[in-house]
Amino acid sequence: MARDLGVDRTCLYAWKRKLGRGPYHHGRTTVADWRDARIEELQAKVARMEGIIGGQWQELDFFESALRRIDADAAMTALAGVLTQ
> Distance between CA 74 and CA 57 in Å, rounded?
26
Query: What is the pLDDT tens value at each position of the chain, 85 positions in all?
Result: 878 878 888 887 888 888 776 555 555 555 668 888 889 999 999 999 999 999 899 999 999 999 999 999 988 888 887 777 6
pTM (2 d.p.): 0.45
Q: What angle do CA 6, 11, 12 make, to 5 degrees?
A: 85
DSSP states along 15-31: HHHHHHT-----TT--S
* CB-facing half-sphere around the CA of 61: CA atoms within 13 A: 6
- The CB-side HSE value for 25 (13 A sphere, CA atoms) comes to 12
